[in-house]
Structure 1
C-alpha cells in the first residue's frame, strides 16, 4: 500500500505537466487565432505555491519562419483550473537568426521580492550556428502576479553566455559566464534587491603530442546588486545579443 501511494505521489508532477501541455494549443488559439503557434518553444508548469494554478509561456511566430529565422511574440499567462486568469503579450520579444532561438523554460525558484509577492521567471535560450565560433546564451525575465495581468519586473538579465573560437580540429580559446541570483536584504521601493554572482571561466585547447589537451583558468567572480526603481529592476550596464 505504501509503495502504491509513493508511486502515485511520484507520478503527480508528471501527470500535471502532461495535462497543462495538452492545454497549450487551446490557449494559443483562444488568445491569438491569427498567429502561428510555436508548440516546440512553448512551456507550462504548475505553480509551486498553488496547485490549482498553472504558469505558461507561449511563443508565436510573427514574421519569418522557424527554419530560416523568425521574430516571435511571447505570451505569459496564469491559468486556474485550466481557465486563463491573467495574461500579457509582448510583440517581437524574441529574435531568431544566426543566433537561433532554442527554447523557453519556466523558473519557479523562491524569488520573494516582498513578504507577499513571489516572482516567477521565464528563461529564453539561444545557440549560435557556427561550428568554429560556438555561442550560446540564456536570459531571464521575472514576472509577478499583482494586478490584472502578469507584470514584468526584470527584463532579460543574461544568466549564461559561452563562446569561443577554434580551428575546427583542436586548437582554440573559449569562455563560459554564468550568473546566479539571490534575494538581498537591501530594500528599494519596498522590493528586495537581487544579488547577482557572475562567474567567468576561460579555457583553451591545444595539440600536445598526438592528443588534444585542455587547460582551464581559475574562475573570476564578480558580484553586483540589481535594485528596483519603483516599476522594474534596473540592470547596470547590461548588454544583449539581440
Structure 2
C-alpha cells in the first residue's frame, strides 16, 4: 500500500509540474493542438542558460491511440520566447518515441556544455525507458542533440545510448547484470567544421551466486572510448 501511495504521489507531482509549463496553452494554440492530444506527464521545459530569454520545450503528441501501456509519440522540440510563449524554432519528428513493454518514463532537456564549434552550442533531449520485470530488469537512456542553424532547429545526434542497465537473476541472489554509463567530451579536433565528440563509457558487470548461506558478488569494470564525427548532417 505504501508503495502504491508513493508512485501515486510521484505521478501527481509530475502531472502538476507538466500542467504548469510556462505558456503551455499558448504553445498548443500555435501548434493547433489540444491538451488531450499530448502526453502531459512527459511535457518538459528548461531555460537555456546561455540565453535566458528563451526556453526549450518538449511537447510529446500522441501519434496513435493509447492501448494499455502502449503508445507512440510525435516529438515536438521547440525553442520559445520566455516573455510571450511565441515559438521561435521548431523541430518535429513523427513517431519518434514508443512506449510498450519497455516503458517510456521520462523526457528531459539537457543544457550541458555541448560546444560544437566557436559559434554553435547544442542542447540535448534525454529520453529514458525501463521495464517492470523483476527477474529481467532493464533500463536505458538515449540522448539527441539539436542546434540552431540558419534560423531553423536541426538534429545533429539521434537517440544515442548514454546509459543502459540490464540482467537476469532469480530475484534472490543468483544472477548477472551489466551497467553501462557514458559521458561526452568535446574534442579539439574538428570534422566538417564541427568538433568531434569523445564518448567515454564505463561498463560494470556483476555476477552474484549464493554460496555457504551468503550472497557473493563479483564485479568487473571495463572502460571504452569511442569517437563520433560530424558527416555534414549529423554525428556518427
> What is aligned with 1:139?
142
Say if 2:211 is the partner of 1:220: no
How far the C-alpha of 1:118 sits from its partner, in A, is: 0.3
> What is aligned with 2:75?
74
- Residues 101-153 of structure 1 deviation map (CA, whole Å, 9 limit, x = unaligned): 11101111111101001000000001013211100000000000113321000
Say if 2:189 is the partner of 1:186: yes
- Residues 35-80 of structure 1 deviation map (CA, whole Å, 9 limit, x = unaligned): 7111111110000101111111111111131742111111000011
> What is aligned with 1:232?
234
* TM-score between both structures, scaled by the size of structure 1: 0.84
How far the C-alpha of 1:206 sits from its partner, in A, is: 2.5
CA distance in 2: counterparts of 1:18 and 1:61, whole angstroms: 16
CA distance in 2: counterparts of 1:161 and 1:19, whole angstroms: 30
CA distance in 1: counterparts of 2:67 and 2:165, whole angstroms: 23
Say if 2:209 is the partner of 1:206: yes
| Contact 1:25 1:39 (C-alpha < 8 Å) held by counterparts | no
How far the C-alpha of 1:32 sits from its partner, in A, is: 4.3
C-alpha change, 1:18 and 1:37, in structure 2 (3 Å) is closer
How far the C-alpha of 1:216 sits from its partner, in A, is: 1.6
Runs (4 or more) in structure 1 with deviation over 6 Å come to 17-20
* TM-score between both structures, scaled by the size of structure 2: 0.86
How far the C-alpha of 1:211 sits from its partner, in A, is: 4.0
CA distance in 2: counterparts of 1:67 and 1:184, whole angstroms: 44
How far the C-alpha of 1:29 sits from its partner, in A, is: 4.2
> What is aligned with 2:6?
none
**Which aligned pairs between 1:119-134 and structure 2 lie closer than 5 A?**
119-134=122-137
CA distance in 2: counterparts of 1:66 and 1:22, whole angstroms: 30
CA distance in 1: counterparts of 2:63 and 2:133, whole angstroms: 25
Report which stretch shifted further, 19-28 or 131-140. Answer: 19-28
CA distance in 1: counterparts of 2:29 and 2:113, whole angstroms: 32
> What is aligned with 2:61?
60
Number of residues paired by the alignment? 217
CA distance in 1: counterparts of 2:166 and 2:26, whole angstroms: 38
Say if 2:164 is the partner of 1:161: yes
- Residues 194-218 of structure 1 deviation map (CA, whole Å, 9 limit, x = unaligned): 000111100122324444343321x
- Residues 183-237 of structure 1 deviation map (CA, whole Å, 9 limit, x = unaligned): 00111110000000111100122324444343321x2011111000111111xxx
The counterpart of 2:100, out of the listed 97, 101, 104, is 97
Structure 1: runs of 5 or more not aligned:
1-16, 235-242
State the secondary structure of the residue aligned to 1:30. Answer: helix
Report which stretch shifted further, 34-43 or 108-117. Answer: 34-43
- Aligned residues: CA RMSD: 2.0
